[in-house]
């Protein structure tokens, strides 16, 4: 089912999963919701990322991190929707999009809140 979650990946491997849509179902399924975490502040080639459950919001609007994320002092990088939107758009603009271009597009989106244009 959602066995791609709660695992560490090299960023390029996970981008391939997103590109081939193996990280989601055709129709919405909350079991497939995830967030991307890492020890870094931005995406870099060959970095390790952790795919885990999304943040929970507790009392007083404080964020509750998944245990693995908390204990390994990882940072929240982005949501499943963010990474899917960036990868899907880039892939429709360029079928031969490279992992390094996707990493650049992701960092651009997270910093500027808009999409890089690959047309």
The mean pLDDT value for 66-94 works out to: 96
Specify if 117 maps to a domain: no
Say if CB 50 and CB 74 are below 8 A apart.
yes
The reported pLDDT for the residue numbered 106 is 97
Specify if 118 maps to a domain: no
Q: How many CB atoms lie within 10 A of CB 111?
A: 9
Distance CA 80, CA 54 (A): 8
CA angle 48, 94, 35 (to 5 degrees): 30
Specify if 119 maps to a domain: no
Tokens found for residue 100:
């390094």
Average pLDDT for the chain? 93
Counted domains in the chain: 1
**Res. 1 pLDDT band, cuts 50 70 90:** very low
Q: Which class for 107: exposed (0-12), middle (13-18), buried (19 or more C-beta within 10 A)?
A: middle
Specify if 51 maps to a domain: yes
The reported pLDDT for the residue numbered 27 is 87
Specify if 14 maps to a domain: yes
Specify if 88 maps to a domain: yes
Q: Which structural domain, as residue segments, surrounds residue 92?
A: 7-112
Distance CA 27, CA 19 (A): 17
């Amino acid at each position: 089912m959602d066995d791609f979650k709660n695992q560490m990946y090299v960023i390029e491997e996970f981008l391939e999963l997103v590109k081939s849509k193996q990280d989601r179902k055709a129709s919405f399924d909350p079991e497939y919701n995830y967030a991307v975490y890492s020890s870094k502040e931005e995406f870099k080639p060959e970095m390790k990322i952790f795919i885990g459950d999304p943040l929970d919001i507790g009392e007083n609007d404080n964020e509750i991190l998944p245990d693995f994320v908390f204990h390994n002092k990882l940072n929240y990088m982005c949501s499943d929707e963010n990474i899917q939107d960036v990868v899907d758009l880039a892939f429709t603009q360029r079928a031969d999009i490279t992992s390094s271009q996707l990493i650049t597009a992701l960092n651009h989106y997270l910093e500027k809140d808009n999409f890089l244009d690959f047309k």
